[in-house]
Every structure is written in C-alpha cells, then in structure tokens.
Amino acid sequence: MLLLADWVLPISGPPIPDGALAVSGRIIEAVGPAAQLRIRFPHKSEHAFPGCALLPGFVNVHTHLDYSAFQGFTRSCSFSEWMARLLLARRRLDENDYAVSALWGAYECLRSGVTSIAETSYTGWTVGRAARVAGLRARVYVEVFGLDDAHLPESMERLQDALAKTRHEWRAGCVDTTETAGLGPEIEVGVSPHAPYTVSSRLYREAARFARRGSLSLATHVAESQAEVELLERGSGAISQVYKAAQLWSGRRWTPPGVSPMQYVNRAGALSPTTLVVHAVHLDGEDLTILAESGAAVAHCPRSNLRLRCGTAPVSALRAAGVRVGLGTDSLASNDSLDMFAEMRAALAASQERAAMGALTPEVALRMATLDGARALGWDSVTGSLEAGKRADVIAVRVPSRGDLSGGSAAAAWSVREPTGALVGDCVAADIQMTMVEGLVVYRGEGVPVEVERSFGRTRTKLGLGD
C-alpha cells in the first residue's frame, strides 16, 4: 500500500512535503515524494491522509500501564506522600483489576500515537496480555523488590516465575472477546530491580547477573527524588519516615550506604549498555560521568517529575555527554495522560529551567519521542524512524492549520521546518488519525472497546474514583 500525506517526517531526514510511504507487509519499502512513489509503485493501493503528517509511532520508554486506573487518585504532592498514598491504594485491587487497567492503558497508547512501550510491571503478565490484544510493540520489565537479604532467594524465584508467566500469556493469548489473535510484534521481557530505596545492594547484583545470563535488558528507577538521595546518603528524610510508619523496617536494621543513588546502583554492577535508568533527576558531576561511561540509557519523564515535585533532569547535559535519552510518560498514577505531545512540551519547558546547559528544540524533543527513544531501548534498527527496511510503525497526525491554506495544500503553506514546530507546539493526542504497528492498522479514530471501558470503570470504582 501507499500512505500519502501533506507531510512525511522521517526523523532520520528532513521533512518531505506531499510525501508518501510504500508499505509491503510489515515493512517500509520506500519513503519519498508522493509523485515519485506513485511512479515506482503504480499498482499499490493508496490511502491518503489530507491535512496530516505521517510520523514514526512514538516510543514511550517508561510506562506502568497496570496503574492506568489510578489516574487522578491523588493531588499533586511530594514524592514521599504520593508513594505512601499509592501503597495504600494498591491494596484495593487484585491481579485481574490490574489486567483490566493495563488493557485500557494499552488502547490509550494507540489513541495517543504510541506504538512501542517499555513497561515496568510487578506482575508482568498483565501487560504482556494487554500488548498482545492491542497490538503494541512492548518490552515488559518485571519488577523485583527486597531490602531484606534473608528473603533474596524467594524474591529471585518470584521474578523467574513472573517472567515465565509473562511470556506464556503473550504466546497463549487470552480468552477475552476483545482479543485479535496474532496482532503485532512479539513482546520482550526484561528485569527491573525497582529502585535503590526498595532493593538491597545484593539483590541488585543478583538481578543484574540474572539478566546478563539470560541476555535480558534491565531497567531501574534511580535518583528520582531528593528524598531518595537523603535516604541513601544519610538514612534520613521523607522515605525513611514513610517506611517506619508502614513498619517496613520492623525488626530489621538498615545502614545507609552513604553514597548517591547512581553510585549505589553502579557499585552493585547494575549499569551497562542494556540498562535503562528511569528519571535520573538528581545527579552530580560524578554521577553523570558514571552514567555516561556505563553506556546506560535514560528515560526522561518530565510531567511525572513535575507532578511529584521531584525536580528537573539535566537532559541537555546527559545528551552532551553522549547518553541516549528517550521520553516516557510514567504511570497515570503520576501523570494526567499518555499524550506524548504533552510530554514533549513538558520536556521543552523543563529544559528552559536549566537553560545554562542548553534548552531543547522542538526537533530534539520529537526525536526523543521517536528515534532516540528507540535507541535508548536498542530498537533503532527496527523502529523510531521512517526508513526503508524498518518495520511499518506509522502514525498519521492532523497538523494544526496556520495561516490561509485556501490557496493550496498544507505543505505549500509552511517552510520545510515548520511542521515540526506545529506538531510539537500545538498537537494533542486527539489529533492522531491513524496508528499502525508493523503494517497493521490498530487504531483509526475509534474509542476503547465497550467491554474494556466498562471493566475499567468498575476497577476505578474500587479505588473510589469517578470519570
């Protein structure tokens, strides 16, 4: 088929006015001006998207789709207060509720133009199933927790069981009537020792060794809040108070390591080119050097950081040091939406706060949401840009009108660079007209399936939340 639009933004090259993509099966066969591709492929069917731009699907490098039902469960507050509230709220739901929540979140991803996710999940299988049903490209990092090394064998056994169940759920599919069998790419699994404030140094080391033995990627939350820094360096602060109040340290002594979160994770051997460091907000010069030399990538989540009052990650400095940085929405428990356009604008605004390091541009923000996100996950040979030979992960986005377009196409009304500014500056998730994953159209303006919406509503009712 030929996909035609007023603009094609390959990301790996300049925007193409009146452009087109030739798609053959799951693969992009050619990218270029529509007039040229029509000559090259005269027998292909045409699908036009007037007033739109074609882009690679967004790569959301950090999600918690299990928590989609928690949207709006608390006001903007400090990280430690949010953590305490989440710990209490999570007890109201069972695994089936989380499966419903993840499935609703997967459809929201498609409606937001997201075609690839890197998910961090305690259960794993819930998102594995959701990715299969919705047709998302996904890597599911299964979480492991534990500060008490007496329980380390049980923690590692639970991790292995969860990984096996996640793989099985994807392969077996589900019996839900919403399933579309065989849709989308096979998911990957990975390992996620949760964070320095929930994982002992020994458990970090064991999880990292396990990941290396199995050739699995690893993700971990690091240096998200100042409270985390205070806990690791001095054993004090808000997280310490939450743990004591919840009696999570009852009967056990814990000695702070006296180092930064990044140093803690590095000493445990958990940083490598296949590690995704989530947040990386509170870094000093030594931390940044450690991160850059390790080859690890970073998931930047500016709206979540803002909502939880965590601060602003030094993205420009990270990029200047050669660190791969992608954009993530984090969970709907700490964000308003899965809208990557909103995330790009938040990244631009956050970079202005660190203007001395160099503010981001719309072009860089869009790249972080696509090709750089794919690079952060090691998927850049497959997705993240529109290039011949890559998978056909494509979205059509309605481009906001600027000026009088009555005399010609939208392409003729803008300079070559203008579409990027218009898309990043003005578009919202509702402007997504079509989402394609591996050559299959998985969204074309319709809503979430009715049964999923109803089940999701019942789950939110358990949390005391209304829509």
Sequence-distant (≥ 6) Cβ neighbours of residue 310 within 8 angstroms = 79, 224, 225, 226, 279, 281, 304
Cβ 347 vs Cβ 302: under 8 Å: yes
Q: Rounded to 5 degrees, what are φ and ψ at 104?
A: -60, -45
DSSP track, 258-272? -S-HHHHHHHTT--S
Query: Which pLDDT score, from 0 to 100, does residue 163 have?
Result: 96
Question: In angstroms, rounded to a whole number, what is the distance separating the alpha carbons of residues 177 and 464?
Answer: 27
Q: Give the single-character DSSP code of 146.
A: B
What domains does the chain contain, in order, with CATH numbers? 2-56+386-451 (2.30.40.10), 58-377 (3.20.20.140)
pLDDT value of residue 247: 60
Residue 40 · residue 22 · CB < 8 Å: yes
As a whole number of angstroms, the distance between CA 430 and CA 397 comes to 9
Q: How many helices (H) and strands (E) does the chain have?
A: 18, 15
Q: Which tokens in the block code for residue 57?
A: 């699907």
CA 75 to CA 146: how far, in whole Å? 28
Confidence at residue 171, expressed as pLDDT on a 0 to 100 scale: 73
Q: Cβ contacts of residue 284 below 8 Å, gap of 6+? A: 260
CB 418, CB 70: distance < 8 Å: no
Distance CA 443, CA 448 (A): 10
The per-residue pLDDT for 359 is 83
Q: Which residue has the tokens 């080391």?
A: 205
> What pLDDT score was predicted for residue 404?
39
Q: Which SS3 state, helix, strand or coil, does residue 1 take?
A: coil
DSSP string, 17-37: EEEEEEEETTEEEEEEEHHHH
pLDDT at 180: 43
Phi, psi at 414, each rounded to 5°: -120, 155
Consecutive 10-residue averages of pLDDT for the chain (467 residues): 97 96 97 98 96 97 97 91 91 95 97 98 95 95 94 96 90 50 77 96 97 98 96 88 67 78 98 98 97 98 96 95 98 97 97 77 97 98 98 95 48 57 94 97 91 94 83
The HSE-up count of residue 14 (CA atoms within 13 Å, CB side) is 8
